[in-house]
Amino acid sequence: MRLDKFIGDTTELSRTDAKKAIKNGRVWVNGTTAKKPDIKVTEVDKVKLDERELIHRKHYYIALNKPVGYVCSTRDPDYPTVSELLPAYVQHRELHAAGRLDVDTTGLVLLTDDGKWSHDITSPRKQKEKVYQVTTESPIEESYVQAFANGVYLDNDEKVTLPAKLEIHNETHATLILTEGRYHQVKRMFESVGNKVIALHRSKIACFKLPGDLELGEYRELSDKEASDIISSTL
């Protein structure tokens, strides 16, 4: 592809700004200063902008710590989307969430433009665990543990939920581990036993735990190994 497009695909620069950077001698290809924006480069070429090496990826895999007030859909008339927290060069790839979170839920969201990868994470058949930290309005009863392990009926659903593991930490705080992701599932599960979720945070998907140094609203790209490990991990 053209060098200016390569830069536009891998940085926050527009094609116009990429051409200016090339003209100003800020771009190197395989150790040589680039002179024209239309020279052809491939993924094996070593391209640098200033001191930054640029890597062109076939697919992007991103971990985001979602704050309250953002939605995981690609567009929404009422709320900002999680993609707006990402730089422009990633936004144009039209990433989607591999498992959405509600607008008032925080925590780990995995974003990608790789449809097969996201399907392998979200499909109940793949048995990828999703771990949630739950705070409830009323005390959490020991009876919930067996109820969730057996599966519960949710409003307007004909099938019981798959077995889930509940770990009670104190009167109103617990960890819930699921292998499916139905609409508002955690909240509806607690509603089915007469309780209400007042705060919800996803801390882990499959083998990937939300990094402790990733603040709300922050993100980082996953390495190829991390992305592969998420898919290959099993219960």
Catalytically annotated residues: 102
Residue 185, CB-side half-sphere exposure with 13 Å CA sphere: 23
Task: Give the integer Cα–Cα distance in Å for 168 and 174.
Answer: 4
Q: Which of 79, 184, 168, 24 is nearest to 176 (CA)?
A: 168
Strand 106-112 with 197-205, pairing: parallel
Question: Given its phi and psi angles, is residue 99 left (phi above 0), alpha (psi -120 to 50 degrees) or beta?
Answer: left
What distances in angstroms separate CA 76 from CA 115, 215, 224, one per listed residue?
21, 24, 30
Q: How far is CA 142 from CA 146, 149, 157, 169, in A?
A: 8, 12, 24, 11
Residue environment code for 49-79, b if the CB has 16+ CB neighbours within 10 A, otherwise e:
beeeebebeeebbbbbbbbeebbbeeeeeee
| Residue 6 tokens, joined | 């390569």
End-to-end CA distance of the chain: 42
State both tokens at 193: 């036993």
